[in-house]
Amino acid sequence: MMKSVDVLVAGDLFVDLILSGFDRWPEPGAESFAREFAREVGGGAAITACGLAKLGIRTRVFGFAGAADSAWLFERLRQSGVDTSAIRLHDSEPTAISVVASSAHDRAFLTYQGANKALPEELRRAAEKGELACARHVHLAFAPDLDSAAGLLDSIRGNQCTISLDVGWHPEWLEDPRVADLLGRVDLFFPNESEALRITGACDADQALERFDALGAARVGMKMGPRGAALLCDGQIFRSAPPRVHTIDVTGAGDCFDAGFLYAWLSGRSPRECLEIANLCGALSTEVRGGIAGFPGLERLAELRP
């Protein structure tokens, strides 16, 4: 079957209001003043989609935005080359918003889910009706409900798509024993180190990768922040040291890692190359505020990694 889209990214869409440059970290009951402010499209779906499009991958976003306040979000995604035709509009909820307090090494979020609440049911319906068959690959940038996640993944697979998953930090989801069954249903799983340890109960990253292998996960790309990244691929483990960058804001770095990996994987690169490209994309994104502006295009990627 001819596919008109390389990657369909399904997940939550946000407008991020990013505050940084604090003299002290914000604390309850106290006021901290930021020296820098930026507005950017946020959420794993949007950031990963923009990164993929920047690398020439035909990318479509599946998600929800508020009917009354979505114009800026649509325009920003289109400027990045993302196909927005699968974004639904919610009549009663606004586009989701996150207020992000960010430093060079950490960040905190205050979030309202807004229109994103409608995503799981609409994605399930679309998968069951075969509406995702346009895509070679479906990347899920949210934590699917565990009561129905296996059925959703099977329905997506029925659209003749490969699947990747990045659920983000949802402790109750990560600790649920039903997660083990899902690992064998996806082609790629993208946790950060903390999420990997929470799922596996491991003491360290190496042990976590070994346990993922025992659980039947085919490929796990683990993001380890300033310690680089690691990859389990068909029983082999690869590691990539952190690139040297001047970190300003870590918002969205993990989502940029996902984009870099998917670009390389869909382009037929080796597992080691996939990991190194992903690690580089995630690191470079931290040199600029927000999750999109620092992501490298093909030209810069070729300069830094021929």
* Domains of the chain in sequence order: 5-12+44-61+119-304 (3.40.1190.20)
User: CA nearest 166: which of 136, 137, 142, 147?
Assistant: 142
d(CA 6, CA 47): 16
Average pLDDT over residues 189-206: 97
Residue with tokens 């996150």: 98
Residue with tokens 């037929």: 268
Q: What is the dihedral of CA 2, 259, 219, 131, to 10 degrees?
A: -40
**Hey, what are 251's tokens?**
């918002």
Helix (H, G, I), strand (E, B) or coil at 82: coil
Q: Angle at which helices 44-54 and 253-266 pack, to 10 degrees?
A: 40
Q: Could you read off the pLDDT of 55-79 as tens digits, one per residue?
A: 999 999 999 999 999 999 999 999 9
pTM tops 0.75, yes or no: yes
| 9 phi/psi in degrees, rounded to 5 | -100, 120
What is the chain's alpha carbon radius of gyration, rounded to the nearest angstrom?
Answer: 18
pLDDT at 305 over 80: no
- The per-residue DSSP string of 111-177 comes to EE-GGGGGHHHHHHHHHHTTTTTTEEEEEEES---TTTHHHHHHHHHTTT-EEEE---S-HHHHH-T
Residue with tokens 């690869």: 238
Q: Could you read off the pLDDT of 205-250 as tens digits, one per residue?
A: 999 999 999 999 999 999 999 899 999 999 999 999 999 898 887 8
What average pLDDT does the structure give for the chain? 94
Task: Identify the burial level of 13 via C-beta atoms within 10 angstroms of its C-beta, where 0-12 means exposed, 13-18 middle and 19 or more buried.
Answer: buried
